[in-house]
Structure 1
Amino acid sequence: MKHHKYLIVGGGMAADSAIHGIRKIDPSGAIAVICEELHPPYDRPPLSKSLWKDAQFESIWRSQHNLDIAIHIGKKIVNLDPARKTATDNAGNSYTYEKLLLATGGSVRRLSNADENVIYFRTVDDYRNLRQLCEHGSDFVVIGGGFIGSEIAAALAMNNKRVTMLFPESGIGARVYPRPLSEYLNSYYQEKGITLHAADTVRSIQRSGKKFVVTTENGKVISVDGVVAGLGIQPNTDLAAQAGLEIDNGIVVDELLRTSNPDIFAAGDVANFYSRLLEKRMRVEHEDNANTMGEIAGMNMAGQKHPYHHQPFFYSDLFDLGYEAIGELDTNLEIVEDWQEPFRTGVVYYLRERRVRGVLLWNTWNKLEAATELIAEKNEHTPATLLGRIRN
């Protein structure tokens, strides 16, 4: 049985950031990372963004900078005993710890009645598999019109592939973008050569030789070389539940990122934290949250008392369009659009009871601090008070 002062379950961005957080405070305490993937930590955003442009593949790997850690890749913790402070992996190895971090991330949602070779895009292996298909294939279906689906469709089209998008909503990003912007994106993607099947879902995906045959509920039959699905994730909470920790849309943590067991912390996609800015609990599946939360969790594991009061932002790249955003982006909220150039440059505000809850900075850069301050003011607003409030 191996003993480590710090045990980290998960090998993603939050886990790597936690290592650096620990080492800022404790330069020598033994750290072990148990990583189910067969790779050391890497940056995930480039998989659907810069690697399809001009970034080098090797640029994704996150350096450990000789921080003296043990990384056990290809291992999964399957049993956690908080009373004995032991964790056991799927190879039967046991580890003891003083402080433990659950950075278990999430698992992709999968389609029923679909061929097993559908790529549910999330990992570096998914990226490699899709790149390999692209070497010989020219036609692809992308299922999902949200964050990942819209990025992958754009990436494939920019690499001269014929792309068909299939999603149940009326438009790309329809759950977060105001209807006019979503409708503009539909037209914009079609101008880029992408075929859209909106308001439609998958009935079946089968193999026919080297081809995939996608049949939709609306009766469309599409023959392609590859199928990519971006359907979101479910937080990996099974281990936490088995250990008796509090679960509610993820692993519930306090402001110091401790779970209901004070010696077990959680961070990243799986952690349900309280946002002081929005005055609500939430779970955020984006890079800024993983990096910042992971580092603070690591520092607190090493004895600090830093509250996680950060409000994470998120961003996306869609051909030559891009955005940064913070807070709640939900089309069920009241929406105020302030375009400098319609659908090319502008700011979209999301309000509940006349208070700004979220800000979408569409091709508007270096304004995250202003957007955060606007939400924090908690003042009542009307369209008249918001128009022109944030500009490039």
Structure 2
Amino acid sequence: MQKMKAVIIGASHAAAQLSVSLRQEGWEGDIVMIGDEPHLPYHRPPLSKTFLSGDKRIEDLLIRPATFYEKQQIQFLHGHVVLIDRERKVLNIADGSQISYDKLALCTGARVRKLNSEGSELQGIYYVRNAADIAAIQQHIQTAKHAVMIGGGYIGLETAASLRKQEIQVSLLETAPRILQRVTAPELSDFYTRIHQEQGVSIYNNITIERFIGATQVKGVLCTNGKTIPADLVIVGIGVQPNSELVQAAGIDVDNGIVIDAYGRTNDPDIVAAGDCTSHFNHHYQRQIRLESVPNANEQAKVAAATLCGKSKPYDALPWFWSDQYDIKLQIAGLNHGYDQLVIRGDLQNSKSFVAFYFKNKQLIAADCINRPLEFMISKRIINDNIQIDPAHFADESIDLKQLR
């Protein structure tokens, strides 16, 4: 009997985990991973941190070395898939070649949102998504004096912190009234504003770009309020969107991402998906969501691999995230969407160690933990198990949270 072939489109966190999990779940056939980049799968979060700052090389970021994939008989193919033929179970590659599959895994990830302002094609304007982006920025940093960071989300703040570490002047522009508005409470926005201003970052909220100034090389940013901010380096971090066009063209259901069920299955029984490109119904929060996080990518990949091997292991992971800026590690448990009460544990105003607990109907739904790893672990347990605890207890540091579980 001929062994079956599993093909994975994509080569980031989800793809790397899915290939490994296939072997762990007993897949004996061929495994082929197709990636757009020439690199083996590598860790993405350090790109805006230790990789940008020059502390790490791309070789240091590899999720697993080449020898591992060779030993597991996982083939890596550098190429770009342009068409999925579900009837023939064939993939068309951009170079004109084709590859067949018996089972297909979609780990297509997401791409950066681009600016379309006048001058956005000038030299010196970069995005933060892959190793090539950061390598280009690193070359530019050597002569840069003043950088403008566009976007006040976590990527923008992490990048700003890395640039300040290299003593580059940084101005951060955010269209919303406050940084991190989409993902955290005003109190956390105020905290991170204070931290970055203390490090010398100039933050401009409620500001919109009119155009970029320069002939061939960017020289500055003109804002709609008439303010001009000098810049010989511009980095844009205004979010991402799922890579789902190829999949949608093949007749796979898409709704702000590739729609999957609790087992990672698409509407094609031979095709699964995992990672930033997917949309799933999350039972913790009772709504359809698309998550951009490494933990989610890894957990979905494990589930999808089990499904391809004929096993049923439903996805049941609580969303969690992290961010490193300066000497601050933020660990986030859960999603705070729809919270109606915020409880602070610790000194938010004067310290770099506290927790913001988010409640909805007196039930803990999320926690932002600043340099508080113990509270992060406890929060995950409380949220995951729907443990009922009086919100007032969380604010009292004389109460050991371990006793509240």
Q: TM-score range, shorter-chain basis?
A: over 0.9
Structure 1 unaligned residues grouped into runs of 5+: none
Equivalence for 1:147 = 154
Amino acid in structure 1 at the alignment position of 2:238: L
- The CA deviation string for residues 36-79 of structure 1, in whole angstroms up to 9 with x for no partner, is 22322111011112332744442111224022222221x22111
**TM-score, normalised with respect to structure 2:** 0.89
Map 1:45-60; keep pairs closer than 5 Å. Answer: 45-51=45-51, 52=53, 54-60=55-61
Separation in 2 of the partners of 1:390 and 1:88? 58
**Does the aligned pair in 1 maintain the 2:330–2:370 contact within 8 Å?**
yes
Match of 2:362 among 354, 370, 380: 354
1:105 corresponds to which of 102, 109, 114: 109
Report percent identity of matched pairs.
29
CA distance in 1 between counterparts of 2:231 and 2:289 reads 38
CA contact (8 A) 2:27 2:309 kept: no
Matched residue type, 1:265? V
1:94 to 98, 114, 134: 98
The residue number in structure 2 matching 1:70 is: 75
Structure 1 Cα separation of the partners of residues 241 and 211 of structure 2: 22
State the SS of the aligned residue for 1:187.
helix
The equivalent position to 2:214 in structure 1, one of 190, 207, 212, is: 207
1:263 aligns with 2:267: no
C-alpha distance in structure 2 between counterparts of 1:201 and 1:23, whole Å: 49
Equivalent residue number for residue 343 of structure 2: 337
Residue type at the aligned position of 2:35 = C
Work out the number of aligned pairs and report it: 388
How many angstroms apart in 2 are the aligned matches of 1:382 and 1:130? 48
Cα distance in 2 for partners of 1:94, 1:354 equals: 55
Q: What does residue range 80-91 of structure 1 map to in structure 2 within 5 Å?
A: 80-91=84-95
Among 168, 185, 192, which residue is 1:185 paired with?
192
Q: CA 1:241–1:57 in structure 2 vs 1: closer, same or farther (change >3 Å)?
A: closer
Following TM superposition, the consecutive aligned residue runs of length 4 or more in structure 1 with deviations greater than 4 angstroms are 379-382, 389-392
Partner of 1:15 in structure 2? 15
Q: Tell me how far apart the structure 2 counterparts of residues 230 and 156 of structure 1 sit (CA, whole Å).
A: 14
Measure, in 2, the Cα distance between the counterparts of 1:276 and 1:53: 41
Tell me the equivalent position of 1:115. Answer: 120
1:172, distance to aligned residue in structure 2 (A): 2.2
Give the secondary-structure state (helix, strand or coil) at the position aligned to 2:108: coil
* Partners of 1:4 and 1:136 in 2: CA distance: 53
* CA apart distance, 1:205: 1.6
1:323-345 CA distance string (max 9 Å, x none): 11121134x52232323122522
Partner of 1:79: 83
What is the Cα deviation at residue 194 of structure 1? 0.9
Instruction: Tell me, in whole angstroms, the C-alpha distance in 1 between the residues paired with 2:220 and 2:321.
Output: 34
**Residue aligning to 2:228:** 221
What is the CA-CA distance between 1:354 and the residue it aligns to?
3.0
Aligned Cα root-mean-square deviation (Å): 2.2
Q: Residue in 2 aligned with 1:197?
A: 204
SS of 1:50's equivalent in the other structure is: coil
Q: Distance in 2 between matches of 1:33 and 1:369?
A: 34
Higher alpha-carbon deviation: 28-37 or 297-306: 297-306
| 1:269 alignment partner, SS class | coil
Q: Distance in 2 between matches of 1:347 and 1:302?
A: 41
> Deviation string for 1:195-235 (max 9, x for gaps)?
11111021112434544321111211122121001111111
Using the TM superposition, give the Cα deviation of residue 292 of structure 1 relative to its aligned residue in structure 2, in angstroms: 2.3
Distance in 1, matches of 2:214 and 2:104, equals: 44
Distance 1:390 1:285 in 2: 32
How far residue 22 of structure 1 moved from its aligned partner, in angstroms, is 0.9
Cα distance in structure 2, aligned partners of 1:246 and 1:42: 28
With over 3 angstroms needed to count, the CA separation of the structure-2 counterparts of 1:92 and 1:165, relative to structure 1, is: same
Partner deviation per Cα, 1:103-137 (whole Å, 9 max, x = no partner): 00111111112422421111101111111111111
Check conservation: 1:115, 1:207, Cα contact below 8 A.
no
Gaps of 5+ in 2: none
Contact 1:166-1:196 within 8 A present in 2 as well: yes
Select the structure with the greater relative contact order (CA < 8 A; seq sep ≥ 6): 1
Quote the Cα distance in structure 2 between the aligned partners of 1:77 and 1:390: 53
- Corresponding residue SS for 1:46: helix
Query: Which residue is 1:374 aligned to?
Result: 382
Q: For each residue in 1:222-265, what CA deviation from the matched residue of structure 2 results, as whole angstroms up to 9, or x when unmatched?
A: 22121001111111111221111111111111111011111100
- Name the counterpart of 2:286: 279
